[in-house]
Every structure is written in structure tokens, then in C-alpha cells.
Amino acid sequence: MNKILLYLIMLPSGLWRRMGADVTQLKAILTVKLKMDDRKPLTMGRQQPNKKKKIKYASTVAFILSFFVGFMYIFPLIVFEDPYLKLFGLYTMLTVLLTFGLVTDFSNVLVDTRDKLIIFPKPVSDRTIFLSRVLHIFIYFFRSVFPMSLMAWIVWGILYGWEGALWFPVPLFFLTLMSLFFVMGCYSLLLKITKPEKFKDVIGYFQIFFSILVFTTYYMVMPQMRNQEVFQQFDIKTISWIRYTPTYWLASCWYWVQPKAAVLAGTGWLSILAVLTPFIMLWVTVKFFAPSFIRKLSAIDGVEVATPKKTVKHEGKSKLYIRLANMFNRTSASKAGFSIAWLQTSRSRAFKMRVYPGFAYVFVYFFYLFLNTNVAFADLFEKMSQTRSHLFLLYMTSFILLNAVSNMNMTEQYKAAWIYYTSPLESPGRIMGGAFKAMWIKYYLPFVIVVTGFVLYVWGIGALIDVILATANVTTYVLILMYLGNRHLPFSMPEQMKTKAGKAVLKMLFAIIFMGCMGLAHYAIYFVWLKVLLTFISIALLWTIWDGYINTSWKQLKIAEDAY
């Protein structure tokens, strides 16, 4: 797959040359980058096993997953009448989600500073480096766009015959480019206005902000989408302003096949804009942004001497995490696990990026619950207390814990984990247990406290048993998941590329579905005595699994690492 895409990418080599890139170097860089992405990094003390089949399997899972996610995109194709409106809806959805994916998953590739010692000192021009990064991301990007839009492609083929099917991938190609350069533009602008040493932090916060924005928009729009009749009566003329949006320009490419169906004036002309825009954006970014981008990139992490700004306040034993570590852990190993997980999660940009937006998701859901009720604010709590939606809220918080514990093992600095292997640790389980406690106390507990306060206020003291049962269930369930499929030392596993992460996404998806089932089961129980009984059973189960988890042996750890 990589080879074919690389071949296709290098087809317009004249264009790349014209933009100031050295085509031979460009191809060499891309070949190496793609090869490296496909290789699994080695963890401590292990030889590279021959696992070609397993990698292929992971890619297939990722493909199937993207294909099913693609079902979502046929929605606008079904609900709208006008073909241009169908396409406008599809492209808008795709653009938002692609941009989201680009910002969250590929920022590290774009601002990767590891090339500083390898490629930067070689006689490679700024434009070649810049273009290699853009095209590297484009290849990954297109690889996920293809399976994602496959379903929509099939539907379009059914609706408009072979002509439609043949035409379908063309605007998608432009769309991918547009999304890519939009994000590139944003990043170049960010680089221009921020200091290099601050850039990575700014990017991190930008990513978190952007994720929350997309998620919020999605859930604010979702309730409106339920009414299908609204869509079917939708007239494109009433929203003629859409002709100024790039996604409509892309939709207007349909003019090449069905010009008569176009309602808005100038649709044919707008299709030219769809073709030209990505190339203009490409030219502008490469011509004007590339040199400063690379120069600034070289300055990131370029400070070799300690900067006083990054000094961490030291207040000896009074530090909160030390006090908590001592309070909740008995062994040195679990204290060490607690401390490292607490500190690293506060500082790791990648961890914050993956976990922090989740906090906002819970709040957004929370407000979504409010907005969805269509009840006056004064009666809202009264109305809510008559339902049992507090259970939904209680089980929602599991997302926080699940997200935190499943991300605390991954790091770019997985090689630093040698220290665990050379230390006198009888079993690595104690470290893992300490780290789990840290995540529970640091991320899950504050949420549970806030939610409990709210639940008790609205639903009364009677809901306390629900809070206790749900908290016990969530903790037990997440621990079972860690015990069965994620037994790793904190910050010891290499991060994986998006394409290899299919299995992880699938795991997470199933985890959330099962959690939902558990919530539903809880919903079905009315007897308080049964809830009390189940709470005891849940805590007993937690106790048993916990014992197994903290006694994880080195051998079991190795098995888990091999399966990673």
C-alpha cells in the first residue's frame, strides 16, 4: 500500500521540483519515514520478533474499523434531496473529522524535531523537508480517508450509476489536500506568533481546545439532526451563502457530471475553485511558510542549557503527590509507581493531549443532557429527578478513568524504562498498582466527588447507593480491562502510529459498549437491598482482581508486552 501511494505521490515530481524541492531527496526521506512508521520499536531487553502477520492483521482491523465509521457519512446522502446538498453535507462532515484527526493525531509528525541531527545538517533544502512532512502526513491521511469514504462511495454509485462512482474519488483528493493545508496554515501562523520554546505547549493546548470545539459542535448539532423531515424539505436556495464555503466548491464538482441539477448560480465556476484552491494553498505554504517553519522548528528543543523558567517548585515533603503516595501505598515499589505516574501525567504533552479533552467531553455530555430535555430551567431539576439519568452520568465518568489508565503506559521515552528492569523489583505489579491508584485519585476521584455532589442535590440521598455501586463497578471494570489487556509498566511502551492503533481503538470501543451495558443493567435494578448486595460483590471482585494485578510477575508482563 505504501509503495503504491509513494509512487502516486511522486508522479507530479515536476510540480515538487518547481516548488523548490529536490525530488530524489524527497523520495528518499518519504521512503525511510514510511518504513520507520511500519516498524515496531523494541522495548527493554527484547529482540525483534518476526511478526509481519500481526502487523498486517492490525492494519486490516484498522481498515474494517474505518469502514464501519464510514457508515456515518452516508447520512447526508440519504436525508437530502438535492445532490449538491448531499455532497455539501458529506464533505463538511469529512472535513471536520479529517481536520480533527489531523490536529490530534498527526501534529507530532508535523512538528517532529528528531530530524534535527539527521536531516537538518545534510544538504537538504527547507522546502524539501517541509514538503516531505506534508506528503508524509498526506499518505497516512489518504489511507484513512479511503476506507472511511468507501461506504459513501458505494451509496453514491448506487444512486448515480457508474459515472457517479467514477467521479467520486476526485473531489475527495482535493478535500484531503484542503484540510491538510488548512491545518498547516494554522500551525505556520502559530509558529509565527509564538516563541519556539513555547510552540509545543501552544500546539498541545490548541489540540485540546480544537478537540473540545469539534466535540461540542457535534453534540450541539446532533439533537437537530433527529428530525429527518426538516432535511427532506430543505431548499438549497434558502442557504445560498454556502457557495462561499470550500466544501460547497468541492460539491460543485458534480457539475462536471450533472450540470442541470445545479440550482445555485455559478456552480460550474465554483468547481474550478475546488481544483485550484488546494494547489494555491500548497504553493503559498511551501513558498512563504516553509523556510520560517523549518527555521523555527530547528529552534524548538534547541536550548541545550537549562532554562530557569522550567524550574519546578520544591517544597520538600509537603508536596501533595508525595504525601498521597505515602498515604495510599505501603511498599516502596508502589510509592515509586504512584509518583512516576503522577508526575509524568502532569508533564507529558502527549498524555495531556489524549486524556484532557475527555474531561471536557463529560461536561459537554452533561450540558447536552440539559439542552435535550426541552424543559424550562426552573423545572429542570424537578424533571430530572423524576428520571434516572444520574446513572448515565455516573457511568460516563468511567471514560475519564479508562482514558487515563490506558494512556499512562505510552511514551516516546519508553527506553527510559530500563530502570525498572535493573531495579530489585520482585514483581512489577506493585509499580503498576501504585500507578493505577495515582490515576484513580488524580483524575477519577475529583470527578466522582463533583458528580456525587450534583446527584445528591438533584436526586437526594437515596441515590447514594447508586453512586457507590457505580463507582465500585467502574473501578472494578477498568481494573479488569487493565488486568486482561493492558498490563504494562507506567511510561514503558512506545507510542504507535495511527494505522497500527486500530486494535487499540477497537478495544476502547468495546470497553465503552460493555460499560454502557453495565449501566443499563444497573438501570434495571430497583431494589435497594439488591444494590447493596451487588456493591459488596463488586468490591469483593475488585479485591480479587486487584490482588492479581499487583502481583503481576515479570513473566506475565513479558507476555503482555509481546501481545502489544
Which residues of this chain interact with other proteins, rule CB under 8 A? 44-45, 47, 301, 303-308, 310-314, 316-317, 322, 332-333, 335-336, 339-340, 343-344, 347-348, 413, 415-416, 418-426, 491, 554
Nearest to 489 by CA among 437, 557, 555: 557
For other proteins, give the closer residue by CB, 419 or 532.
419
CB 272 within 8 A of CB 253: no
For 294, phi then psi, to 5°, come to -70, -40
Nearest to 132 by CA among 109, 113, 107, 116: 109
Classify residue 275 as exposed, middle or buried by CB count within 10 Å of its CB (0-12, 13-18, 19+).
Answer: middle
Burial 93-116 (b: 16+ CB within 10 A, else e): bbbbbbbbbbbbbbbbbbbebebe
For other proteins, give the closer residue by CB, 223 or 302.
302
Min. distance of Cβ 198 from other proteins in angstroms? 13
For other proteins, give the closer residue by CB, 229 or 304.
304
Min. distance of Cβ 191 from other proteins in angstroms? 20
For other proteins, give the closer residue by CB, 78 or 559.
559
Nearest to 107 by CA among 267, 271, 300: 300
C-alpha cell at 436: 493505577
For other proteins, give the closer residue by CB, 3 or 309.
309
Min. distance of Cβ 491 from other proteins in angstroms? 7
Sorted by sequence, the CB contacts under 8 Å of residue 353 that are 6+ apart come out as 104, 204, 207, 208
260 C-beta neighbours (distance < 10 Å), count: 5
State CA 513 to chain mean position distance: 18
User: What is the C-alpha separation between 515 and 512, in angstroms, rounded?
Assistant: 5
Min. distance of Cβ 406 from other proteins in angstroms? 19
User: What is the C-alpha separation between 518 and 505, in angstroms, rounded?
Assistant: 20
Min. distance of Cβ 343 from other proteins in angstroms? 6
Min. distance of Cβ 324 from other proteins in angstroms? 14
C-alpha cell at 298: 530547528
**3-state SS assignment for residue 342:** helix
For other proteins, give the closer residue by CB, 321 or 365.
321
For other proteins, give the closer residue by CB, 349 or 383.
349
Distance separating the N- and C-terminal Cα atoms of the chain: 23
Min. distance of Cβ 335 from other proteins in angstroms? 5
For other proteins, give the closer residue by CB, 128 or 188.
128
For other proteins, give the closer residue by CB, 52 or 313.
313
Burial 533-551 (b: 16+ CB within 10 A, else e): ebbeebbebbeebbeebbe
DSSP 168: T
User: What is the C-alpha separation between 181 and 195, in angstroms, rounded?
Assistant: 22
CB 385 within 8 A of CB 459: yes
Min. distance of Cβ 508 from other proteins in angstroms? 25
User: What is the C-alpha separation between 490 and 488, in angstroms, rounded?
Assistant: 6
Min. distance of Cβ 545 from other proteins in angstroms? 25
Min. distance of Cβ 190 from other proteins in angstroms? 20
Quick one: which H or E segment has residue 410?
Answer: strand 410-411
For other proteins, give the closer residue by CB, 193 or 305.
305
Min. distance of Cβ 109 from other proteins in angstroms? 20
For other proteins, give the closer residue by CB, 39 or 415.
415
**3-state SS assignment for residue 551:** coil
Residue with the three cell numbers 439519568? 389
For other proteins, give the closer residue by CB, 113 or 277.
113
Min. distance of Cβ 300 from other proteins in angstroms? 11
Min. distance of Cβ 331 from other proteins in angstroms? 8
60 C-beta neighbours (distance < 10 Å), count: 11
For other proteins, give the closer residue by CB, 294 or 435.
435
Quick one: which H or E segment has residue 72?
Answer: none
280 C-beta neighbours (distance < 10 Å), count: 11
Reading phi first (left if > 0) and then psi (alpha if -120 to 50, else beta), residue 266 is in: left
